[in-house]
């Protein structure tokens, strides 16, 4: 039987290119064949009974390489191994391994962050950081289908020991992730279901992240009167909740751009004046002036209360307002709530934000009417400096920073948060 040659294969290739009909099988010996399909495609193949046919590749690999591969196949066959069966098994194993790797907890979380969290959640960075640090470091290599309630229960239990408040946030992130994973066919059930939510412990150190602060501001625009401007003024000024909510028009000097609290309305019983940034001033100027109920025989007259629904009593209902703003936050954040927070956290967040942009601690304390450090004790007795200009610079700078956080834009010299609020129609 004549063996194949490179010259013969070249001539055969030319004939095929011209459209000539040639026979399908061209032997080289020892079971090696050149195969020409009706389409004209040429390839090498080992065919030797009782073993299954073994494709070696396209004719472009060349006759020497085909003979080398054929010899290796013959050696395996002499040992009783069918190389075609072995190759199919290896391919199947690689497919299974690739599928397993593609469906690890880590891989699916990556899809969740890229496809859902990043486009829909303002807090996606916190979600990613929590899942990366607290979950993937422990369960990342497990197939997503193997992660069960027991895994998550143990993980949340450990997190609650080290960081109780963060355990609640992690529970929410996991619940959101598995709800998405189930909806996309990665799992058949949500292993978070049935797990008790870690109890939220009150924290006196809660500081909102930039993403959370932006969510609170934007969600506040959906609140009914008078809570939207109250929340926004709390964020802008850093003052205590009832110092703003219980405000009186007689305390506000629009010309001087200042709010003067008497000692009867401050926690430390000391009079306190804080400047109003352009953003805060813009909000106040847009507020309606309510009327006090008319007494018998008298006409209605403007109420001195800034935030009131009756004209003679300070606004109430903060618990309901908090529930409403949390619902709005979840709607804006792709259905995901942020970790437990309170209105007082806006004060701590403002203080932390001012410190982050370089405001001195004593100026921050003066701005917030917080007596400690240099302003406490003997030093405070002799330090009667009012910090008027420093407080104005601090709140103006914080207002600019808050605008950047809320809008995502670097602000100019004049903050336009109030204008943005007005343009929103609320």
pLDDT over threshold 50, residue 426: no
Q: What angle do CA 385, 396, 425 make, to 5 degrees?
A: 140
Contact call for residues 48 and 77 (beta carbons, < 8 A): yes
**Tokens of residue 63, six digits:** 């006759």
The ranges assigned to domains in the chain are 6-101, 105-183, 210-423
6-101: CATH class: alpha beta
Enumerate the β-bridge partners of residue 302. 291
Burial 158-178 (b: 16+ CB within 10 A, else e): ebbeeeebbbbbbbbbbbbbb
Q: What angle do CA 212, 216, 219 make, to 5 degrees?
A: 130
Name the phi and psi angles at 248, rounded to 5: -120, 145
Domain 210-423, what fold? Answer: hpI Integrase; Chain A (1.10.443)
Percent of the chain past pLDDT 70, that is, above it, reads 86
**Helix axis angle, 164-183 to 105-112, nearest 10°:** 90
Give the residue ranges of DSSP H helices in 41-103: 63-78, 83-102
Position 205 confidence tier, pLDDT thresholds 50, 70, 90: confident
Give the per-residue pLDDT at 425.
44
pLDDT over threshold 60, residue 422: no
Give the per-residue pLDDT at 194.
81
Lowest mean pLDDT among 78-92, 185-199, 360-374: 78-92
* pTM (two decimals): 0.61
Position 265 confidence tier, pLDDT thresholds 50, 70, 90: very high
Domain 105-183, what fold? Answer: DNA polymerase; domain 1 (1.10.150)
Q: What angle do CA 211, 280, 208 make, to 5 degrees?
A: 20
Burial 205-243 (b: 16+ CB within 10 A, else e): ebbbbbbbbbbbbbbbbbbeebbbbbbbbbbbbbbbbeb
């Amino acid at each position: 039987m004549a063996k194949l040659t490179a010259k013969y294969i070249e001539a055969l290739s030319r004939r095929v290119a011209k459209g000539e009909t040639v026979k399908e099988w061209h032997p080289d010996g020892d079971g090696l064949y050149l195969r020409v399909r009706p389409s004209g495609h040429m390839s090498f193949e080992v065919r030797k009974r009782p073993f299954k046919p073994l494709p070696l590749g396209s004719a472009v690999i060349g006759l020497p390489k085909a003979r080398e591969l054929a010899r290796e196949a013959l050696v395996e066959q002499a040992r009783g191994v069918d190389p075609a069966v072995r190759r199919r098994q290896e391919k199947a194993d690689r497919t299974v391994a690739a599928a397993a790797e593609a469906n690890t907890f880590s891989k699916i979380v990556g899809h969740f962050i890229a496809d859902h969290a990043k486009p829909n959640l303002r807090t996606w960075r916190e979600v990613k950081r929590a899942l990366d640090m607290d979950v993937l470091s422990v369960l990342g290599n497990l197939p997503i289908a193997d992660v069960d309630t027991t895994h998550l229960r143990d993980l949340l239990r450990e997190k609650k020991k080290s960081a109780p408040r963060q355990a609640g946030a992690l529970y929410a992130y996991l619940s959101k992730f598995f709800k998405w994973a189930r909806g996309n066919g990665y799992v058949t059930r949500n292993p978070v279901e049935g797990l008790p939510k870690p109890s939220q412990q009150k924290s006196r150190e809660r500081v909102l992240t930039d993403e959370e602060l932006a969510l609170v501001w934007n969600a506040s625009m959906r609140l009914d009167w008078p809570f939207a401007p109250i929340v926004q003024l709390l964020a802008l000024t850093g003052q205590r909740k009832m110092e703003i909510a219980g405000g009186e028009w007689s305390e506000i000097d629009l010309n001087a751009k200042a709010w003067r609290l008497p000692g009867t309305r401050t926690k430390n019983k000391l009079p306190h004046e804080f400047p109003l940034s352009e953003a805060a001033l813009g909000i106040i100027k847009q507020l309606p002036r309510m009327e006090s109920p008319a007494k018998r025989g008298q006409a209605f007259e403007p109420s001195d209360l800034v935030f009131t629904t009756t004209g003679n009593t300070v606004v109430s209902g903060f618990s309901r307002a908090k529930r409403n703003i949390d619902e709005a936050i979840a709607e804006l954040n792709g259905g995901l709530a942020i970790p437990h927070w309170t209105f007082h956290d806006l004060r701590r967040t403002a203080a932390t934000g001012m410190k982050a942009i370089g405001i001195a601690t004593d100026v921050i304390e003066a701005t917030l009417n917080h007596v400690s450090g240099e302003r406490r004790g003997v030093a405070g007795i002799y330090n009667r400096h009012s910090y008027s200009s420093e407080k104005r610079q601090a709140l103006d700078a914080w207002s600019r920073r808050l605008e950047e956080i809320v809008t995502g834009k670097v602000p100019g010299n004049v903050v336009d948060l109030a204008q943005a609020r007005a343009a929103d129609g609320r």
